A and B are shown apart, each in its own frame.
Chain A
């Protein structure tokens, strides 16, 4: 297992377009998280899954954002009708609760630029 994988690494889109990002977590991890990070800031929580269930969503997550994790494996994050304020690094992380609370392992992120 090579760790958490995110695709694409970079995405440039025009305002108003829809974009979808993919995250492949570490295979034995049952928790998956999406975070957003803007320049000079810490990661900001968006949502998390335990297996295929989406258990929590940030109140900051507008209706234009949707995330799925079918079959409890990979996850997708879709942003509809993108706005310039959506430009950020989108980070995916995974962790396991089977051995108690442990650290999150992060992917390299998808950098979104909305022009």
Chain B
């Protein structure tokens, strides 16, 4: 079975500080992509960052970076210098089988001014 698990329903961070959102997954596949999506309130889901499972180097996009541990099946998202606009639901996802995207239950991030 393919599963994605986010164990932090809610997180908060002070503006300008750093926060890490956790994600674990389970799959028997060896080649897949992992994603973090952001869903602001009442707005559409957008991609934050993507990681290819066969690449050991962690992906980075400006203030967003991941810690990908393939053996541990862990894929966390680090947001540095948090901004008010980062407040949203964050979903961890993957396309393990190439036929669909599997999503976690999400982490609601609050940024405190």
Contacts and interface: CB of A to CB of B under 8 A. Distances in A.
Interface stretch (A21-29, A73-81, A103-111): A103-111
B68 to A, nearest CB: 16
A35 B103 CA distance: 10
B26 to A, nearest CB: 15
A105 B93 CA distance: 13
Contacts of A41: 105-106
A103 B91 CA distance: 13
A67 interface: no
Contact of A40 (B32, B45, B103, B106): B106
Interface in B35-53: 35, 37, 43-47, 50
A8 interface: no
Contacts of B93: 42
Contacts of A105: 47
Contacts, number: 51
Interface in A19-63: 33, 35, 40-45, 48, 55-56
A112 interface: no
B95 interface: yes
A115 to B, nearest CB: 21
B104 A33 contact: no
A109 B44 contact: yes
Interface string B78-103: 00000000000001010100111111
A103 B47 contact: yes
11 contacts: A33-B101, A35-B103, A40-B105, A42-B91, A45-B100, A48-B100, A56-B99, A101-B33, A103-B35, A106-B37, A106-B45
Interface of A: 33, 35, 40-45, 48, 55-56, 91, 93, 97, 101-109
